[in-house]
Amino acid sequence: MELTVPQSIQTEHQELHRELAGALKAGGHTGECARAVMKVIQPHMAREEEYVAPALALLSAAAENRLTDDMAVFLPRIALLRGELPRMRREHATMVEALRELMRAATEERHAGIARVAQRLVAHAQEEEEILYPAAILVGEALKQRFGKT
């Protein structure tokens, strides 16, 4: 079995990435701010897809008590998540700061659509911190419990 990034996360990341890429073409201060956001977001999303997404791929199995023996192989990889979380949270803080700049610039330069994209990205980061990261940690805990490691 392979761990695939849950479809909803993949789609949301692709959409946000595509819309941000569009904002790069706006030029002016808006374009510069969008570039600053992109610089942080690209490695950040890659890290999430490497460390958070695999745990979330097992979320429904864990929630419905359907973890099977073959899933034990994912334990070491999912265990890395806790170590990576502080960095991902710091990246969110940097991202949100850059996104607020982007919102200001886009509003000033009358790119209402781009300001909305920036706002969605802020909400995305918040949703991850409030729901997805904790859910991923719980999957790690469920795996540890199921396969008897502490």
Binding of residue 81 to Fe ion (CB under 5 A): no
Q: Which residues have a Cβ under 8 Å from the Cβ of 74 and sit 6 or more positions away?
A: 3, 54, 58, 143
Q: Which is nearer to Fe ion, 74 or 133 (CB)?
A: 133
Task: Give the nearest distance from C-beta 147 to Fe ion in angstroms.
Answer: 28
Helix, strand, coil shares, percent, the chain, to 5: 85, 0, 15
The CB density around residue 75, as the number of other CB atoms within 10 Å, is: 14
Helices 7-23, 28-51: crossing angle, 10 deg rounding: 160
Q: From the centroid of its chain, how far is CA 129? A: 9
Residue nearest Fe ion, Cβ-based: 128
| Alpha carbon 87 to its chain's center | 12
Site residues for Fe ion, 1-20, by CB under 5 A, read: none
Residue with tokens 């610089």: 39
Nearer to Fe ion, 43 or 113 (CB): 43
Number of chain residues interacting with Fe ion (CB under 5 A): 2
Residue 62 beta carbon to Fe ion: minimum distance, rounded to whole angstroms:
20
128 binds Fe ion (CB under 5 A): yes
Residue with smaller CB distance to Fe ion, 1 or 21: 21
Least distance (Å) between residue 9 CB and Fe ion: 7
Of 55, 93, 89, which Cα lies nearest the Cα of 71? Answer: 55
Q: Which is nearer to Fe ion, 56 or 105 (CB)?
A: 56
Stretch that binds Fe ion, among 33-41, 63-71, 103-111, 125-133 (CB under 5 A): 125-133
| Site residues (vs Fe ion, CB under 5 A) | 48, 128
